[in-house]
Chains A and B, each alone.
Chain A
Amino acid sequence: SQDSKMASVVPLKEKKLLEVKLGELPSWILMRDFTPSGIAGAFQRGYYRYYNKYVNVKKGSIAGLSMVLAAYVFLNYCRSYKELKHERLRKYH
């Protein structure tokens, strides 16, 4: 019984985000790989997750490309919000 208890405990470092309990969250975040190669790996994983789900399929639709362009527009809006704030149709800016 001692062996089965050890075998069923997954170490904190290898759990995915949705399997981490709320109390363990700060230590989980601190244990992530923040080295440059770790961050590059995270971007690469994210890119391939999106690519293989929406673009690299047999009958890809326009949605795969449009979602990327919509995110691009949104990020550019966030970037230029400071200047756009002054162009709102308000009496007092």
Chain B
Amino acid sequence: MNENLFASFITPMMFGLPLVTLIVLFPSLLFPTSNRLVNNRLISLQQWMLQLVSKQMMSIHNTKGQTWALMLMSLILFIGSTNLLGLLPHSFTPTTQLSMNLGMAIPLWAGAVITGFRNKTKASLAHFLPQGTPTPLIPMLVIIETISLLIQPVALAVRLTANITAGHLLIHLIGGATLALMSINTTTALITFIILILLTVLEFAVAMIQAYVFTLLVSLYLHDNT
């Protein structure tokens, strides 16, 4: 049981060839492009959703920050679709791999911070000291603010990895428990099955919320720095 539990998180390879590349590229198949004014239902739904999300998320930014709109919208679409596809049976979720989430978080955070340092150096450095601190506390507070800044990309990546991995593990465990309990005591198995259904509904929500949170935080770091 122990080996099987984590078997679904192994990077899929086939005969030494990276199958994971195909799996990462698969969500792009589900978002077709079109140059028409009036599209088919799939594209119309996706465009409506994208407009809703982009208006809500990019309205807080100034002109310079709004140049990141394409990047942030692609980010939320990618993380959302990858997480939702991972809820299908037997599928592999790339966002459970810390390596990939670090690869997304570090460049985006670094881009926002470096933009802030290059264009508004004084204001970016001023972030390290909140207004109105008593003088003796200043050195310690600068250290604390620096640490809290440097930990932002790590927190972004680990938050996403941990949430999605924990959800998948719980589904595996409770599903296995339901199956094992069916031959022992059917009523308990039924209760466990209801818990499984509630958990799956939660996982659908978590999949979308985590995408939103990741993108929102990147957007906030950007707002601080533009």
Contact = CB atoms under 8 A, between A and B. Distances in A.
Given A64-B42, A65-B42, A83 B32 contact: no
B4 A87 contact: yes
A77 B8 CA distance: 11
Majority SS at the chain A contact face? helix
Contact of B88 (A60, A72, A80, A84): A72
A68 to B, nearest CB: 7
A83 B41 contact: no
A58 B29 CA distance: 20
B30 A65 contact: yes
Contacts of B42: 55, 60, 64-65
A56 B41 CA distance: 8
B214 interface: no
B40 interface: yes
Interface string B15-42: 0000100000010011010000000111
Contacts of B85: 69, 72
Interface residues of A, number: 22
A67 to B, nearest CB: 12
Interface stretch (B64-72, B89-97, B98-106): B89-97
A73 to B, nearest CB: 5
A36 B20 CA distance: 21
A51 to B, nearest CB: 7
A80 B29 CA distance: 22
A76 interface: yes
Given A73-B90, A79-B19, A79-B90, 11 more contacts: A47-B29, A55-B42, A56-B32, A58-B40, A68-B29, A72-B88, A72-B91, A76-B88, A76-B91, A80-B12, A80-B90
Interface of A: 47, 51, 55-60, 64-65, 68-69, 72-73, 76-77, 79-80, 83-84, 86-87
19 contacts: A51-B32, A55-B40, A55-B42, A56-B32, A56-B40, A60-B41, A69-B88, A72-B26, A72-B85, A73-B89, A76-B91, A76-B92, A77-B89, A77-B90, A79-B90, A80-B7, A80-B8, A83-B4, A86-B4
